[in-house]
Amino acid sequence: MSELEELRTFVEVVESGGLNRAAARLGVSKSIISRRITRLEADLGTRLLSRSTRGIIPTEAGIEYKIRCDRILAELDEARDAIAQQGGSVRGRLRLSAPLSFGVRHLAPVLADLARRHPALELDVSYTDRVVDLIGERFDAAVRIGSLRDSSLVVRRIAPVHAVLVASPEYLARHGRPGTPQDLVGNECLIYTASLVPEWQFQSGNRRISIRPEGRLRSDNGEAILQWAIASLGIANAPSFLVSDAIESGALEPLLLDYPQPEFGIHIVRPPGSHVPGKVRILIDTLVERFGGTPEWDRCLIRLSGR
C-alpha cells in the first residue's frame, strides 16, 4: 500500500504542479507529501522532480516514470472497477461538472437518487456555467449544453433542448402579443449575455429569421432572466428546461410557437479512452434513461403547439 501511495502522490504532484496543491487534493499534509516523494526518489536512486519558476516540474526520468505510473494506476482502477461491477455495486468518487440552472433544477434530483441506490458511490459536483478543463481539473465527466468545443472528449447526447420565448400575462396585456419575430423589435427583451449567439433565431418554412434583441436588463444567469420575466419586465428567450414550470403554472406564456428555434442538445462528456469506469457508465445510463426521448420540460410546449 505504501508503494501505491507513493505512486499516486508522485502523479498528483506532477499534475497539480506543487506539493501544497497535491496535499490539498489528497487530503494530507505537505510534510507527508514531501516524505513520500523523498522516499520514492531514494528507492529509485534518481531525482524525479525539480523546482522552476513555474513550480515543481518532472525531470526527464520523472516524465518517463509518470507515463508508467499512469498506466499502472489506470490498470489498477480498471481491475477494481471490474470486480465491483461483477458484484453489482458502483463505488469510488465521481467528480462531475454541470451547468448551474439545469444542474440544480433537473440533475440534482437524479444524482440524489443515484446516491441512494449506490451507497458506496461518492459524488463531488461542481455547478458552474464555466467550461471546465475536464482533464486538467480532474473531472470524471461533465454535462454540457449546446455547442461542444473540445473534439477530443467522448460525447454522448442525452436529451434535446429547445429555446422558447416567454412573457408574463401582465407584460403582454400592456405591450401586446407579438405575432411574428419582427414584432419583437421595440419590445423590452431580457438579454442573456452568456449566449454565444447574440441574435434570436427563428425558422419560418425554409427561411431563417434573425432578430437582434434590445433591452435594458442583461444577465449571464438564466435564473435571473426567468425572475425578471415573471416580474413582467420583458420578453425572455430561455431553454425549455428553465421555463416549463412557469408555463405550466401560468406565470409565463410561450410566444411564437409557430416560429421554432434551432434545437440544441444536452450532452455528457468524458475524457478520451476506451475504458469507461463503472461510476461514469452508471451516470450515463441513468441520465439517458431519465432524460431520453421527449424530456418532461418539452411536453408542455408540444401540447401547446399542437405538434
User: pLDDT tens, 193-212?
Assistant: 888 788 999 998 889 999 99
Asked if pLDDT for residue 150 goes beyond 70, the answer is no
Residue type, 116: R
Nearest to 162 by CA among 256, 255, 241: 241
Residue 82 has pLDDT above 70, yes or no: no
Banded model confidence at residue 15, pLDDT cuts 50, 70, 90: confident
Helix axes 278-291, 60-86, angle to 10 degrees: 60
For cell 444567469, what's the residue?
Answer: 221
Task: CATH 3.40.190.10 in the chain: give the residue spans.
Answer: 92-152+266-293
Q: What is the CATH architecture of 92-152+266-293?
A: 3-Layer(aba) Sandwich (3.40)
Which is nearest to 133 in space by CA: 150, 158, 115, 110? Answer: 150
Q: With the CA atoms of 275, 281, 285 and 290 taken in that order, what torsion angle do they form, in degrees rounded to the nearest 10?
A: -140
| Residue 259 or residue 52, greater confidence | 259
Q: Kindly indicate the confidence band of residue 181, based on its pLDDT and cuts at 50, 70 and 90.
A: very high
90 has a pLDDT exceeding 80: no
Report, as an integer, the average pLDDT of 185-194. 92
Residue 243: per-residue pLDDT: 93
CATH code of 2-86, in short, is 1.10.10.10
- Give the architecture-level CATH label for domain 161-263: 3-Layer(aba) Sandwich (3.40)
Distance CA 20, CA 239 (A): 41
What is the average pLDDT across 178-197?
91
| CATH 3.40.190.290 residue window(s) in the chain | 161-263
Would you place residue 306 in the very low, low, confident or very high pLDDT band (cuts 50, 70, 90)?
low
The H or E element spanning position 22 is: helix 19-26
- Does 1 have pLDDT greater than 60? no
pLDDT score for 148: 74
* pLDDT value at residue 89: 66
Give me the percent of the chain exceeding a pLDDT of 70: 93
- Of the given ranges (53-57, 128-132, 180-184, 205-209), which has the lowest mean pLDDT? 53-57
Calculate helix-pair angle for 2-16, 60-86, nearest 10 degrees. 120
Nearest to 241 by CA among 107, 147, 119: 107
In the predicted model, is pLDDT for residue 250 greater than 60? yes
